Structure 1
């Protein structure tokens, strides 16, 4: 009896010393088109490290670029090619592909189920939060998946910059603000509506936006470049040409020609992934978390960057030189 008990204790000790599953991480859930989640960010980073995700940064949005990268990875690894990141794809990527046990991920599980992260939380959700805070200039420490005082300080800094309740707890409002596409750095006022600075040495932002606003209501026309009808990039080309600045014709070309900026200012171009992979729609940032653009269903209009349609599709901002 003693021998059996001793054997059981030794076996239990070995299991505790060598857990078979790590903290909750990439692979905890199936990912597919249309999802916005920290796990999508990790998937994009894993695909990028293997040369499949070609976009210049992880966005956390599972759009056509991510789907195509997953398909290419699946084809290269003799998997079923469906563009959906499930258990087989995660295993091929080296991820766990399943839920972590409660004994090793209780903080993460609680945080995920409640949608709230706070001091003491751990896991991939915290890793994603730290990355998002770093991208917006509010976290400079190492990304370790542990919600400690430094992460709390970063959350407080971001909340203050965005005009949110400053409590150091990452809840729904904080996450919505993080995914809105608005970048409010610790050294920059959260409101840029009063900014009169030019977005580049060759563009007067105030004059640019004033002229763009004068075109509000102009109908949308695919391929349109005149006041009888604009598509998104035709509208931008027309507005900048009026200011004496030449820009390329298509949204993709305008993306490539611009200089990447982390904090869009009045007059900068903001880009979105809509009906195809890559930058397929764009507009002009006019401050106060808004942009003016020619939408296919609206014509030239002003929209909010935090709109439920535009926010998850935001790719980044470019400055016309």
Structure 2
């Protein structure tokens, strides 16, 4: 996938945003007794893969250990309840961040996003920028925790952009940079909507032109593998796949299934381009896809990768929660 390049130029400072794989996991082994943001993100991962049904607490307790063991068993790797390099690889988590900066200018080229759990120099730069903008990110410590997320949301709300607490191209652009993409025009900004948490672009996914573009993009990824935290053709999780399809068509949507569900307007009869939601791992929304019509939807399944499925099959009909429109 051709990744967008952003040039971030802020007065009197240079921001370096490293590429991340959608998670800050992988830099340390996690085991019973660990208690910090990495564990909370691990729990989110395990829930997405169907091995953890409790709320994410950040505490590596017995339920988390059992979920890890269940996941390890499903992958045929060493079952020890400890999350080390082998388990991280099976989860699709890599620690291959990177950034580039021109030695002769303040232009920084980067790709990726920063979100809750991310760590490093990119987060420190983001925190500094947020503090400079008046959004209180607290200490510039390089850890994307709850205060940094709240600061991102506060900044997004004041900038009139999608409020999801995730620092991606739209947020970096609003902080003072510009976005460009190789071989294409500048990335579209979402039209501003209500400043409430979970707001999305005002373009309706139900409109024919928007829906056809989203579906065309989505179908072009059939066969792409599943990877937790993945947001590119090299590997998608279910919400990362939705984000990819919509963002390629100028629409910014929340990152997680639950947030997408919260932002969507419920519809009784889905139209082409609407989002269909499923409760696959717990009582709330945990999986989603794009409705294609004729009871079919396209999604990134953990065991299938990007594929087209039918709502009438017993598994999907039994877990179906309903449809929503963004």
Give the number of the structure whose alpha-carbon radius of gyration is greater. 1
- TM-score of the superposition, structure 2-length normalised? 0.37
Flag the structure with more relative contact order, 1 or 2, with Cα contacts below 8 A and sequence separation at least 6. 2
